[in-house]
Chain A
Amino acid sequence: MDYFLIGVLVFIAAGFVVIFIKGNLKGISFLLLTLTAQIFILPTAFQVLISGDSIEKIIQFSEPIGNAAFRIDPLSSLFIIIISIGSLFSAIYSFEYLKHYDKRKYSFSSFYFFFGLLSASMLLVTVVQNAILFLIVWELMSVSSFFLVSFENEKEEVRKAGIYYLISMQIGASFLIAGFAWLSNLTGSFDFNSYKNILSAQGTLSIILFLLFFIGFGTKAGFIPFHTWLPRAHPAAPSGVSAIMSGVMIKTGIYGILRIILLSGIPERGLSFFVFIISLITALIGILNAISQKDIKKLLAYSSIENIGIIGMGIGLGMIGLAYNIPLAALLGFLGALLHTVNHFLFKSILFYGAGIVYQKTGTRNIEKLGGLIKFLPFTSMIFLLAAMAISGLPLLNGFISEFALYLGMANSFSFNNAALNILIVVGFSGLALVGAMALIGFTKLFGITFLGNQREEHDHQPSEASSLFLIPMIFNLIFVFIIGLFPASIIQIISNAVGQFTQVNYSTELNSVFVVYNSLTKGLLLFIGIFLFFFIIRYFLLRKKEIKTFKTWDCGYQLESSKMQYTGSSYSLPFLDLVAAVVTQKTTVETEKEIFPSEAKLKTSQHDFVERIIIQPLLKYVRSFLNLFAWIQSGRMQQYILYGLIFLVLILIWIIGVR
């Protein structure tokens, strides 16, 4: 445990040290310290995860925190590993990414400072078991990431996105504060373990508390309808930050939900239904919106919402399994959720890294202006393609492994006498298939339009292949994408202790049956690779002695080809968006000159987030009109503000003397 805490301190120290170092050494010293932190953190975390024995340290703080327990159990250790490795890679990537910026205009010191602080606070979130301290590190995490999001703060849209992000986080945190305050009031303690009795009791109180925490943590994770900050903050942040926020930070929300479930014991049946349904909706709406986006990073942000939904479905399925006592559903549900957490970290980081490279090399994130990048960035494109396949849940790669666990868990949770459960499961079953099919549309669009075909617009410079520091983190993640995709049994073995915490009873027979399934899956996939290689070799021999001619693409006899005639991203996704026009509103306005022979016309399309328009905006309107009633408090006159301070002091004085 001490080693872990030292590691956390090294992260913070890394941020501090950088302030006093000048020039190029800044980044290098930060990288070296982050690397050192890994040496302290990873062995401890892996030891806990593999052995399954948690370690604990109690540190005494002054009031009001009191004794605070720092505990690493298998669940924490899994998240610690993701956070720690994710921070290192994003640091390496950001080091290279920042070279693009003017040193005099941007403060690199503050970037590294808040980066170190963000990593340290995320690590602490997963181990702190004291409500007040938890809220402190939770807020620290939100604030430090806010400063990272608004790195390019000279741009107005970045400032707006940053503030939007900060306010969303505060709204989420207010639910957490309410939940923890209520609990500590009832128990008189800040220790998580003392909340077990209340959270695991049957009745309305535990349900309300669970919902408070679900909303609070769900805002961080990006569950619908609290997802609106993601598509704003991710495009605004530098890519290394987007990667760590999407791949790692939103998972702390998932961690929080899982921690509450651990404390709640056997969940209420209704709650398990609720979590499952809201997650399915999150996944569906997330990917639907992703399909309609033009901005690469916005598309990826919506796809993060989708993946959070998939993780949530796993959690919901696991809760259903616990509530209805279906061992395989519980096991595969939580296994799927945790696996997908790891998987999403791996491929989403790659995709954001790739998006950042595209942005730096071409100066645009609009896929309608890109195209043909595979010729200029062959390695980046190849890695991006594999990550896009992984996130679409295709076999051979890791995304399939976690979705497979969910499907199998659902197929095993049919009951013979509960129609509601059966309907829910079939809806989830086909819903996940729909999510998969839509992910295929979204990511063929993203990769196909951006990297394939011909260049649609000229860029300032001809894009060139990314440097090795950019590629190293991507390749490293990719290796794990393949290992998990082809040999899933190994990773399931490693995380089985974390899953075991949820299933409580010993599910060793079920776990063994899962291993049997995954081992035959591996055999099947290897057979598939064998068949592919067989035909690949046959194709090679068929074409060996022939001279392959290259010619232009078949253009139907048309002579004046132009890269602008290619299918665009919007036209590619249009047939599908027409089908779902009720949910994803794509507004198209055409302006033409009202003449007999109009010479110019303008076409504008914009996408609207259905949920945001229906739920969030009206809600904000009501809140705003209510808060306007208090607008007179903020008058802008200094005298009045001083008066407030005076009144406050007097009241405190009266309270201390009179009431106490």
Chain B
Amino acid sequence: MLILFQIFILLFAPFLFLGIINRVKAIWAGKKGSPIFQPFFDFQKLLRKNEVISKTTSFVFRIAPTFNLAAVIFAFLLIPIPSFGSTISFNGDFILFTYILGLAKFLMVLAALDTGSSFEGMGASREVTFSSIVEPAFFILIGTLALLTGQTSFASIFSMLNSSAGYTELIEILFVAALFIMILTEGSRVPVDDPNTHLELTMIHEVMVLDYSGPDLGFILYSAGMKMVLLAVLAANLIIPENFSVAYTAIFLLLIIFITSVLIGIVESLIARARMSHVPQFIFLMTALSFIAFAVVIFFLRGGIK
């Protein structure tokens, strides 16, 4: 049951996620927009295509997208799905979750430097800078939850959190807000990055993958969508109550993924991309939210939730 549902999400969610964002943006701009399944068609087409590879590159460039894809899917398997359970769960699984995504980032960054292009070096440099703000903030969040619940794995943290009352709603709201900023950053969306820009100088993620084509580009496209989906599923764990039946949970979860993508579409339609020097300030918002969550736990819940 769990595996079937996970495969379902893995197959459809990333493409629909990207499709919905584009559709929302189109509707907001008064246009009709491309079909929601357009990213899926693009993906299929890319898999059938040939590749052009820069002669500067080495094996790093060739394995990085596959590694990235495997890491994102593996990270998804580490996240529990409410009422369904999780594929692998052990104490400290959230550490592996963050670090496996870090591994993927390491290789993608090297792949960008591998091309010897100044544009891609620029993108890589920005990518690592911004992720150096996101990762500590994420650990403050998780540390706060571990402190609050006394648990050290995703599954037990969430089940403990959902079954207890008190200030936990406040923590959950802060957590979800922080996660949304993380989705925008890690998914390279406005205001951090604009995936639709046509100027290499202003891009982050898109510029890192300039030299990819064919199946590798398809893998990258899929991973980018999947990365946002898995963070949305992580947020869903905080929102969906413990005692829901499996069918309701499934619908609710898909709804949350849908809402997240609509929200990203709205954000992209409403605000412009931040100036590169202002992007860190936006991401520090996530750090601030995490610290507030932590302060709430320290000051109001120090007695611990029973």
Contact = CB atoms under 8 A, between A and B. Distances in A.
A328 to B, nearest CB: 9
B11 interface: no
Contact of B90 (A433, A520, A573): A520
B190 interface: no
B60 A553 contact: no
Contacts of B115: 453, 553-554
A575 B125 contact: yes
Nearest to B123: A567
Interface string A407-448: 110111010110100110110011111101110110110011
14 contacts: A381-B58, A385-B60, A385-B110, A404-B92, A416-B150, A429-B142, A436-B102, A441-B128, A448-B124, A524-B78, A551-B53, A553-B115, A554-B54, A567-B120
A574 interface: yes
Given A372-B116, A448-B124, A552-B55, A437 B106 contact: no
Listed residue (A371, A407, A422, A517) with the most chain B CB atoms within 10 angstroms of its CB? A407
Contacts of A535: 66, 69-70, 219
B110 A448 contact: yes
B74 A433 contact: no
For the complex of A and B, 6 pairs with smallest distance between CB atoms:
A567-B121, A448-B113, A453-B116, A520-B90, A433-B139, A532-B70
A660 interface: no
Nearest to B49: A546
B138 interface: yes
B95 interface: yes
Interface string B147-163: 10010100000000000
A532 B67 contact: yes
A574 B125 contact: yes
Interface string B21-59: 000000000000000000000000001101111111110
A527 B125 contact: no
Nearest to B214: A543
A423 B102 contact: no
B175 interface: no
B66 A426 contact: no
Contacts of A517: 90-92
B143 A453 contact: no
A591 interface: no
Listed residue (A374, A430, A513) with the most chain B CB atoms within 10 angstroms of its CB? A430
Contacts of B91: 408, 411, 513, 517
A528 interface: yes
Given A389-B103, A535-B219, A550-B54, 15 more contacts: A394-B102, A403-B99, A404-B96, A411-B143, A417-B304, A426-B144, A429-B142, A430-B139, A432-B139, A437-B131, A524-B78, A527-B77, A531-B73, A532-B66, A552-B56
B110 A447 contact: yes
Contact of B132 (A392, A408, A438, A543): A438
A379 interface: no
A433 B53 contact: no
Nearest to A550: B55
Interface in A441-499: 441, 443-444, 447-449, 452-454
Contact of A422 (B55, B71, B102, B147): B147
Interface string A12-32: 000000000000000000000
Given A543-B214, A547-B50, A550-B54, A565 B125 contact: no
Contacts of B131: 437, 440
Given A436-B102, A528-B74, A417 B303 contact: yes
A164 B45 CA distance: 63
A101 interface: no
A520 B155 CA distance: 15
Given A404-B96, A556-B200, A411 B70 contact: no
A648 interface: no
Contact of B52 (A408, A437, A549): A549
B54 A527 contact: no
Contacts of B129: 441, 575-576, 579
Contacts of B73: 531
B109 A556 contact: no
B150 A414 contact: yes
A117 interface: no
A539 interface: yes
Contacts of B105: 440
A452 B110 contact: yes
B9 interface: no
Nearest to B134: A437
B136 interface: yes
Contacts of A546: 50-51, 214
Contacts of B47: 542
Contacts of A449: 113
B135 A436 contact: yes
A407 B54 contact: no
Interface of A: 371-372, 374-375, 381, 385, 389, 392-396, 400, 403-404, 407-408, 410-412, 414, 416-417, 419, 422-423, 425-426, 429-434, 436-438, 440-441, 443-444, 447-449, 452-454, 513, 516-517, 520-521, 523-524, 527-528, 531-532, 534-536, 539, 542-543, 546-556, 563, 565-567, 571-576, 579
Contacts of A432: 139
Contact of B215 (A426, A543, A567, A575): A543
B146 interface: yes
A396 B99 CA distance: 10
Given A416-B302, A452-B116, A516-B90, A400 B99 contact: yes
Listed residue (A444, A531, A555) with the most chain B CB atoms within 10 angstroms of its CB? A444
Nearest to A406: B95
B254 to A, nearest CB: 23
B126 to A, nearest CB: 6
A403 B139 CA distance: 14
A573 B56 contact: no
Given A400-B99, A527-B74, A553 B136 contact: no
Contacts of B60: 374, 385, 452
A542 B69 CA distance: 15
A453 B57 CA distance: 7
A555 to B, nearest CB: 7
A521 B132 contact: no
Given A430-B139, A527-B88, A554-B210, A576 B70 contact: no
Contact of B125 (A389, A393, A548, A567): A567
B98 A433 contact: yes
A516 to B, nearest CB: 7
A430 B116 contact: no
A68 B63 CA distance: 58
Contacts of B48: 542
B6 to A, nearest CB: 12
Contacts of B100: 395, 528
A454 B121 CA distance: 12
Contacts of B219: 535, 539
B111 to A, nearest CB: 9
A416 B109 contact: no
B93 to A, nearest CB: 8
